[in-house]
Amino acid sequence: MRTRFAPDRGLTSRMVVTMFLLGLLYVVFVGALVALGVRALTVLLIAGGLLLAQYFLSDRIALYGMGGREVSPREAPELHGLIDRLCAMADMPKPRVAIADSDVPNAFATGRDQKHAVVCVTTGILRRLDTRELEGVLAHELSHVAHRDVAVMTIASFLGLVAGLMTRFALYSGLGARRSDGQGGLPVGLIVMVVSVVVYAVSFLLTRALSRYRELSADRAGALLTQRPSELASALVKISGDMARIPTRDLREAAPFNAFYFAPAAAPGATLANLFSTHPPLDRRLRQLSEISAQLGRG
């Protein structure tokens, strides 16, 4: 379903390449397990069931985890009005609208497609941003729905889930077991655990790289739709600055949803963890928005 959001071939190609590489890695992973004689069918079936649940129920799971609830136009007329306007501009179906009672200033979109999507904002972001800044954030989130990168990220997390389950399976059931041919060597469980850790690390890096690019893509698409990149930049600066004032405990509770958030729930600062962040550095996002402002000005 096409929309008026600016298409991003770079994002599309990265999603295809990431899914191909993860699929190839998954085949190699299963082949290695079979070669080792591991009875991993049960674990794989469980992981597959979790993938289906995560894919089809991702919107409900995310809302539940964030403590969000759907709101009607009567309960939140201004928020609904902004989303109505943006959806009309983008020529896309209106998603469900939700609010999470949290002081962490953030927003996220989730759902497997445009017809099963939800956009959620926190009470913290509603208090801090003015109407135009909030419109920029909502345009950013709607672009995730239009580009379907939320669904791709949900699927891409499957291999990491399988590898994590296999690591636990090896730890709790077969760490001490030797090869069945009686030739000794390393325990099968230890080999499975090492292979699983390597697979998890590779899938983690691939999904993180895609996640960082998709945030830049959403910034670009949202800014071009509203034609006001400066308002989105202002929202980014406000939210990133206020993260340092949020209690560490609240940030920790919100951190598991960072891959879906508009901005990571973490205090700003250059650390080693930024190398594995779900989002690009703030200065990179602001620089891109500044470039878009210059292009629009020349136009």
| The Cα angle at residue 111 between residues 107 and 113, in degrees rounded to 5 | 125
Which pLDDT value is given to residue 292? 96
Rounded to two decimals, what is the model's pTM? 0.85
Choose the catalytic residue: 141, 215, 253, 291: 141
Which pLDDT value is given to residue 114? 87
41: which 2 tokens? 């069918």
**224: CB partners within 8 A, 6+ apart:** 5, 6, 292
Residue 291 designated active-site: no
Q: Taking a C-beta distance cutoff of 8 angstroms, is the pair 225, 136 a contact?
A: no
Mean pLDDT, 10 residues at a time, the chain of 299 residues? 86 91 79 66 67 76 84 96 96 95 92 88 96 97 92 74 66 52 58 76 86 95 96 96 86 81 75 71 95 83
For the chain, the distance separating the N- and C-terminal CA atoms, rounded to the nearest angstrom, is: 28
Q: Taking a C-beta distance cutoff of 8 angstroms, is the pair 159, 153 a contact?
A: no
Which pLDDT value is given to residue 230? 96
Three-state DSSP state, 156 = helix
